[in-house]
Structure 1
Amino acid sequence: MPIMTTAIDNGWCETIATSAAQHRAATHAAQRTANIGFLLLDNFSLPCFTQALDVLTTANLIRPGSVKVHTFGYRNSEVMSDLAIPIRPNTPLTDIRIADLDLMMVCGGLRTPRQVPDWLVSLLKKLAGFPITLGGLWNGAWYLGRAGLLDGYRCAIHSEQRTALSERSPNANVSLDSMVFDRDRLTAATPAGAFEVMRKWLAKACEPDLAEAVTSLLDYDHSRFQRTSESPRRKLCKPLRELITLMQANLEEPLEPEQLAHYAGLSKRQIQRLFREQLGTSPQKYYLQLRLNESRRLIQNSTFSMLEVAIACGFVSGSHFSKCYSDVFGYPPSREVRHEV
Structure 2
Amino acid sequence: MERRFFSGAIKGKNLLYLKDSQATTVPTANVGFVLLENFSLPAFTQALDTLVTANLLQAELFATHTFSLDGAEVVSDLGIVIRPDRDLQTTPLESLQLLVICGGLRTPLRMSPALVALLKKAAERGIALAGLWNGAWFLGRAGLLEGYRCAIHPEHRPALAEAVKNSQVTSESYMVDRDRYTAASPNGAFYMVLDWIGNLHGKALVDGIVDILAFEASRFKRVDPKLHFKMTAPLREVVKLMEANLEEPLDLVQLCTYVDRSRRQIERLFRDQLGTSPLRYYLELRLTEGRRLLQHSSLTIVEVALACGFVSSSHFSKCYASYFGHSPSKEKRLNN
> Which TM-score tier does this pair reach, normalised by the shorter chain?
0.5 to 0.7
Letter in structure 2 aligned against 1:102:
Q
Q: 2:75 aligns with which of 80, 88, 98?
A: 80
Residues 207 and 222 of structure 2 are in contact (CA less than 8 Å); yes or no, is this contact kept in structure 1? no
Residues 145 and 167 of structure 2 are in contact (CA less than 8 Å); yes or no, is this contact kept in structure 1? yes
The 3 A distance-change label for structure 1 pair 81 and 149 is same
Larger radius of gyration: 1
The 3 A distance-change label for structure 1 pair 51 and 159 is same
User: How far does residue 96 in structure 1 lie from its aligned partner after superposition?
Assistant: 6.2
Letter in structure 1 aligned against 2:31:
I
**1:210 — aligned with what?**
205
User: How far does residue 213 in structure 1 lie from its aligned partner after superposition?
Assistant: 0.6
Q: 2:49 aligns with which of 51, 54, 59?
A: 54
SS of the residue corresponding to residue 70 of structure 1 reads strand
User: How far does residue 119 in structure 1 lie from its aligned partner after superposition?
Assistant: 1.2
Query: Deviation per CA, 1:72-122, whole angstroms, max 9, x where unpaired?
Result: 111222111010101111245346612110000000011111121211111
Q: 1:176 aligns with which of 164, 171, 179?
A: 171
SS of the residue corresponding to residue 215 of structure 2 reads coil
**1:108 — aligned with what?**
103
Mapped to 1, the partners of 2:28 and 2:89 lie a distance apart of 20
SS of the residue corresponding to residue 96 of structure 2 reads coil
SS of the residue corresponding to residue 71 of structure 2 reads coil
User: Could you say which structure has the higher strand fraction?
Assistant: 2
**1:152 — aligned with what?**
147
Mapped to 1, the partners of 2:135 and 2:204 lie a distance apart of 28
Mapped to 1, the partners of 2:81 and 2:71 lie a distance apart of 12
Query: Deviation per CA, 1:234-268, whole angstroms, max 9, x where unpaired?
Result: xxxxxxxxxxxxxxxxxxxxxxxxxxxxxxxxxxx
Query: Deviation per CA, 1:266-309, whole angstroms, max 9, x where unpaired?
Result: xxxxxxxxxxxxxxxxxxxxxxxxxxxxxxxxxxxxxxxxxxxx
Residues 147 and 167 of structure 2 are in contact (CA less than 8 Å); yes or no, is this contact kept in structure 1? yes
Q: Which of 1 and 2 has higher RCO (CA within 8 Å, sep 6+)?
A: 2
Q: 1:93 aligns with which of 59, 70, 88?
A: 88
Do residues 192 (structure 1) and 199 (structure 2) align?
Answer: no
The 3 A distance-change label for structure 1 pair 224 and 121 is farther
How many residue pairs are counted as aligned between the two chains? 204
SS of the residue corresponding to residue 193 of structure 2 reads helix
The 3 A distance-change label for structure 1 pair 77 and 166 is same
**1:117 — aligned with what?**
112
User: TM-score, normalized by length of structure 2?
Assistant: 0.57
Residues 207 and 218 of structure 2 are in contact (CA less than 8 Å); yes or no, is this contact kept in structure 1? no
Letter in structure 2 aligned against 1:93:
L
User: TM-score, normalized by length of structure 1?
Assistant: 0.56
Mapped to 2, the partners of 1:29 and 1:58 lie a distance apart of 17
User: Could you say which structure has the higher helix fraction?
Assistant: 1
The 3 A distance-change label for structure 1 pair 219 and 164 is closer
Residues 179 and 228 of structure 1 are in contact (CA less than 8 Å); yes or no, is this contact kept in structure 2? no
Residues 178 and 228 of structure 1 are in contact (CA less than 8 Å); yes or no, is this contact kept in structure 2? no
Mapped to 1, the partners of 2:86 and 2:207 lie a distance apart of 29
User: How far does residue 218 in structure 1 lie from its aligned partner after superposition?
Assistant: 2.3
Residues 32 and 98 of structure 2 are in contact (CA less than 8 Å); yes or no, is this contact kept in structure 1? yes
**1:285 — aligned with what?**
none
**1:167 — aligned with what?**
162
Long gaps (5+) in structure 2: 1-20, 225-336
User: How far does residue 216 in structure 1 lie from its aligned partner after superposition?
Assistant: 0.8
**2:10 — aligned with what?**
none
The 3 A distance-change label for structure 1 pair 142 and 224 is farther
Residues 135 and 182 of structure 2 are in contact (CA less than 8 Å); yes or no, is this contact kept in structure 1? yes
User: How far does residue 168 in structure 1 lie from its aligned partner after superposition?
Assistant: 1.7
SS of the residue corresponding to residue 221 of structure 1 reads helix
The 3 A distance-change label for structure 1 pair 225 and 197 is farther
Mapped to 1, the partners of 2:167 and 2:147 lie a distance apart of 6
In terms of mean alpha carbon deviation, does 193-202 or 211-220 score higher? 211-220
Aligned ranges for residues 19-38 of structure 1 at < 5 Å? 31-38=26-33
User: How far does residue 220 in structure 1 lie from its aligned partner after superposition?
Assistant: 3.1
SS of the residue corresponding to residue 201 of structure 1 reads helix
Mapped to 1, the partners of 2:40 and 2:60 lie a distance apart of 27
SS of the residue corresponding to residue 188 of structure 2 reads helix
Residues 130 and 180 of structure 2 are in contact (CA less than 8 Å); yes or no, is this contact kept in structure 1? yes
Note the aligned Cα RMSD (angstroms): 2.6
Mapped to 1, the partners of 2:136 and 2:220 lie a distance apart of 21
Mapped to 2, the partners of 1:96 and 1:207 lie a distance apart of 29
Residues 177 and 228 of structure 1 are in contact (CA less than 8 Å); yes or no, is this contact kept in structure 2? no
The 3 A distance-change label for structure 1 pair 228 and 202 is closer
How much identity, in percent, do the aligned residues show? Answer: 50
